């Protein structure tokens, strides 16, 4: 069911007014108002269809496909405290997600402990973040013994190598939680096969753990996916949604373990990371070969994209970004977009297949299990930082109005 015509036009009018508001504060206030119209336009959630305990979702129409979306305002903190009053969250691993989810759980006043390798990089980092050895910072094994919700946030490669040991702690009555479908879906490659008598769920923030934390501190929340791999208690989905809220999500979408891991591995190799890096580099190189200065090549490739045009797409959509650019730009970009689509389509097809058939998983496991994987990654990312384009970027960023050359 789509929104009734009068609410659709009210939504459009509100969004137009928001986009046209001159002052930034006014613009964000109007945008909030516009979002409320969108909310009001959403059809009422068919609560009868869900278990009594799984509440707080709206069924929204995504271009003709109806999907459930759970929102944080339906999961107040007092309710989360009540829900988790008998639980101990054992956060196993303290990388980007461990840091973000762990600190959010702690700030939410929930009972959370961290389990990492003693004296490793994560142990040091956890102490820096205020976790105290023997009080709420333990070895992986100790934390897994104490926890009722075992949050496996070790690297995907480590989830596989530690499973023979860790699985001993995954016993009836505990919940096994991941932030990725990786280990369970690719069980042939990872060896991770959970015992049949525990709930196995995921809540996967759709963004970096750093953003999970910064959005939470700003009083907002990240979008996350939830899924159930095994439901022995009948409570698995509800538990996943509640955990997603507790770790700092704003809106939560349902998926499956398989769909989560396929889309995630595909997206990060594609547009989100690998694709954009390759596209920036190719455009920059052609500009440089044709005699453009480094600053011009960088500004016309990265800085304008990141500081001006991409935020417009993010706030209001691709069509809005087009309308905010010149008629000349619009003509050329509209003509060239299908060329880029055609050139990229076979690459994306090949990438999806490489994800689906496990090639990407095997590569991640093989690389992530090398003893020196951190140094190897550092070498490769340092090499990116050392490319002319990103050395130029360092100088350009320092000249942004909010930094005024401070880093030079």
Interface with Mg ion includes 360 (CB under 5 A)? no
224: β partners: 205, 252
Given Mg ion, ligand NDP, ligand LWWEY6Y5, none, residue 155, with its beta carbon under 5 to 8 Å by kind, binds ligand NDP
What is the nearest approach in angstroms of ligand LWWEY6Y5 to the Cβ of residue 4?
36
Distances (CA, A) of 117 to 56, 126, 128, 384: 38, 11, 15, 30
Say whether 180 is catalytic.
yes
Contacts of 26-34 with CB under 8 Å at 24 or more apart are 31/315
Given ligand LWWEY6Y5, ligand NDP, Mg ion, none, residue 272, with its beta carbon under 5 to 8 Å by kind, binds ligand LWWEY6Y5
- 3-class SS at 254? strand
* DSSP output for 186-212: THHHH-----TTSEEEEEEESS-HHHH
Residue in the block written with tokens 């060329």: 339
Interface with ligand NDP includes 94 (CB under 6 A)? yes
Per DSSP, helices labelled H in 132-235 are 140-146, 156-166, 182-185, 187-190, 209-217
In the complex, which residue's CB is closest to Mg ion? 264
Of 271-330, binders to ligand LWWEY6Y5 (CB under 6 A) are: 272-273
Give the x/- contact pattern for ligand LWWEY6Y5 in 343-382, rule: CB under 6 A: ----------------------------------------
- 3-class SS at 270? coil
Cβ neighbours, 10 Å, residue 386: 9
Q: With contact defined as beta carbons under 8 Å apart, do 206 and 224 qualify?
A: yes
Q: Name the segment binding ligand NDP (CB under 6 A); options: 154-162, 215-223, 294-302, 340-348.
A: 154-162
In the complex, which residue's CB is closest to ligand LWWEY6Y5? 268
C-beta closer to ligand NDP: residue 79 or 161: 161
Q: What backbone phi and psi angles, to 5 degrees, belong to 291?
A: 85, 10
Interface with ligand NDP includes 97 (CB under 6 A)? yes
How far is it, in rounded angstroms, from Cα 186 to Cα 287? 42
State both tokens at 190: 């990872």
The footprint of ligand NDP (CB under 6 A) covers 93-98, 116-117, 120-122, 153-156, 158, 161-162, 179-180, 182, 204-205, 208-209
The footprint of Mg ion (CB under 5 A) covers 264, 268
Active site residues: 180
The footprint of ligand LWWEY6Y5 (CB under 6 A) covers 206-208, 264, 268, 272-273
């Amino acid at each position: 069911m789509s929104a009734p015509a009068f609410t659709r036009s009210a939504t459009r009018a509100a969004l137009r007014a928001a986009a046209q508001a001159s002052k930034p504060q006014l613009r964000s206030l109007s945008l909030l108002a516009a979002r409320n119209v969108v909310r009001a336009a959403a059809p009422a959630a068919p609560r009868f269809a869900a278990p009594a305990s799984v509440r707080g979702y709206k069924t929204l129409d995504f271009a003709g496909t109806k999907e459930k979306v759970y929102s944080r305002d339906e999961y107040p903190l007092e309710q989360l405290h009540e829900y988790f009053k008998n639980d101990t969250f054992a956060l196993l691993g303290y990388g980007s997600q461990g840091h973000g989810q762990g600190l959010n759980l702690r700030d939410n006043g929930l009972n959370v402990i961290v389990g990492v390798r003693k004296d490793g990089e994560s142990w040091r980092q956890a102490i820096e973040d205020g976790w105290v050895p023997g009080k709420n910072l333990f070895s992986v094994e100790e934390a897994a013994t104490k926890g009722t919700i075992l949050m496996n946030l070790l690297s995907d490669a480590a989830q596989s190598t530690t499973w023979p040991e860790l699985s001993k702690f995954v016993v009836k009555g505990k919940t096994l939680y991941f932030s990725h479908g990786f280990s369970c879906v690719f069980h042939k490659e990872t060896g991770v096969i959970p015992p049949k008598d525990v709930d196995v769920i995921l809540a996967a923030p759709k963004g970096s753990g750093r953003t999970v934390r910064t959005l939470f501190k700003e009083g907002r929340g990240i979008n996350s996916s939830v899924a159930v791999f095994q439901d022995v208690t009948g409570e698995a989905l509800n538990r996943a949604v509640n955990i997603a809220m507790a770790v700092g999500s704003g809106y939560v979408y349902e998926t499956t373990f398989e769909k989560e891991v396929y889309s995630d591995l595909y997206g990060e190799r594609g547009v989100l990371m690998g694709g954009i890096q390759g596209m920036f580099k190719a455009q920059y190189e052609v500009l440089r070969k044709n005699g453009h200065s480094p600053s011009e090549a960088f500004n016309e490739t990265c800085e304008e994209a990141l500081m001006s045009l991409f935020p417009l797409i993010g706030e209001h959509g691709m069509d809005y970004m087009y309308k905010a650019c010149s008629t000349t730009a619009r003509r050329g970009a509209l003509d060239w977009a299908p060329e880029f689509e055609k050139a990229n389509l076979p690459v994306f097809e090949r990438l999806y297949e490489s994800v689906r058939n496990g090639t990407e998983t095997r590569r991640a496991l093989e690389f992530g299990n090398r003893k020196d994987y951190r140094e190897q990654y550092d070498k490769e990312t340092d090499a990116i930082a050392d490319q002319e384009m990103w050395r130029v970027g360092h100088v350009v960023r320092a000249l942004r109005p909010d930094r005024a050359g401070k880093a030079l």
